[in-house]
Amino acid sequence: MTGDATVSTHDDAGSDTSPPAASLNHLPKLDGVRALAILAVMFYHANWLQCGWAGVQAFFVLSGFLITRILLKSKERWRSAADSAGRTGLAEYFGAFYWRRALRIFPLYYAFIVGLAVIFMATGHPAQLKTDLPWLLSYTINIERIFPGYHSAATHSHLWSLAVEEQFYLIWPAVIWLLPKAPFRRLVWGLILAGPLLRLTAGCLSGLLWHDPLHAGEVVYNLLSSHADAFAAGAAVSMGEKFFVSRPLRKLVWAVIATAVAGAWMLFHLRALGHVGFVSLGYPHNMPWSYQYVWGYSLLNLTFALLIAVLLQPYSAASRDPFRFLELPAITYLGRISYGLYIFHNPAQVLVARLAHIPDYTPLSIPAFLLSAAVTVAIAALSFHFMESWFLKFKDRQPWSIPGFAPGLPAKDAVGG
């Protein structure tokens, strides 16, 4: 769900407006978005910021944006080359994408799971790993989490979002390959508009099966279908849809206001019921009360998509750019290693909490958080420079391609270089 933030151009899919900053160049500001998103998630798991889980939504929208641009450009190039070579380009299109995805995602992910398995065999902890391991190995732990009786393990339960991402990767390349521009555009807008209905359906089915209104929030939170509009909103930005790229800053301001007002209303409502504290900002985890999970994700997804659209806007002078702080070297570096930060931050926090004798669900002290953050950054940096980068050297080897039919790939991809 994380990695280098780069983009590639492509023809507009049904709109008269092209992204103003579409290029093959690296976009450091998107690394900055990743950094802020992972920091929000770290604050959430440290029990500091109850709405910090929304950082994961930012990752989903960002993935929809970047992966769609990569795939559209790849489809254009492979089909163009295939036409001249008398081939379909199908194998090359899918081979290129999945080869690069595998090199970016699998090495660290499975190395982490192997490490957990070794610790489990030596100590018996985390105890849930024995049950969770098949789900982790198959990128389906998000499905396991929807069933009542699932016991969350702080060492690895956060990997549910990587499972959602992987399931998105399995579906989206085929969708883009099969659909022409106009039907694809209609599908994207259909998913954006259908998002609340998909979540309502999942919540209602959960209520029928398990008769627990609060559990419906957990079911909705973990399903790929519940985040289809997040990926689609990012895709719409990548296609240069006029709604997102025409005066996006003004729309972003209104989206932020609407999100804040709705959060304030929910905060007032939920505080009266004694459910959440102020640090949720009206967006508690799972948003299980008063059907907030139906519309709350939509507001967040729209806000993050408009933020990406704003970040694509050129500025005549750097001094006028209100988001130039996202390009600070320290922030962009955290964004570059954010995949490792995401994987390692929760286990690091658990370890530090145990050593400091901090009870579960108790906010970490400032020293404990800083120590866990330092450990996380150190491990993620080592992983990025000495393992992940080594595998990425092979991303352009093109083992799927027939010799002589290798027209080149799009610029290095957004979710992992």
Please tell me the distance from the alpha carbon of residue 143 to that of residue 208, in angstroms, as a whole number: 18
What 3-state class would DSSP assign to 405? coil
Would you give the DSSP letter of residue 337? T
Q: Where are the alpha helices (DSSP H) in 1-89?
A: 28-45, 54-85
- How far apart (Å, rounded) are the C-alpha atoms in residues 89 and 331? 39
Tokens 């009542």 belong to residue = 148
In a structure prediction context, what are the per-residue pLDDT tens digits for the chain, which is 417 residues long?
Answer: 544 333 322 233 333 333 433 344 568 899 999 999 999 999 999 999 999 999 999 999 999 999 999 999 999 888 777 666 557 788 889 998 999 999 999 999 999 999 999 999 999 999 999 999 999 999 999 999 999 989 989 999 999 999 999 999 999 999 999 999 999 999 999 999 999 999 999 999 999 999 998 899 999 999 999 999 999 999 999 999 999 999 999 999 999 999 999 999 998 888 777 766 678 899 999 999 989 999 999 999 999 999 999 999 887 666 678 899 999 999 999 999 999 999 999 999 999 999 999 998 899 999 999 999 999 999 999 999 999 999 999 988 766 554 544 444 443 443 333
- Distance from C-alpha of 169 to C-alpha of 136, rounded to nearest angstrom: 16
Identify the CA nearest to 174 among candidates 93, 69, 77, 92. Answer: 93
> What is the spatial distance between Cα 2 and Cα 415, in angstroms, rounded to a whole number?
5
Spatial CB neighbours of 387, under 8 Å, sequence gap ≥ 6: 107, 108, 111
d(CA 153, CA 135): 13
Within 8 A by CB and 6+ apart from 8, the residues are: 24, 69, 70, 73, 410, 411
Q: State residue 16's pLDDT score.
A: 34
Give φ, ψ of 26 to 5 degrees.
Answer: -65, 140
Half-sphere exposure of 86 (CA within 13 A, CB side): 1
- pLDDT at residue number 279: 81
What's the CA gap between 40 and 36, in Å, rounded? 6
Residues 6+ apart with CB under 8 A from 286: 214, 217, 218, 220, 221, 293
C-beta of residue 270 within 8 angstroms of C-beta of residue 284? yes
Structural domain spans, the chain: 28-392
Cβ 299 vs Cβ 260: under 8 Å: no
**0.85 exceeded by the pTM?**
yes
> Tokens 């209303």 map to which residue?
265
| Predicted local confidence at residue 88, as pLDDT | 72
pLDDT at 185: 97
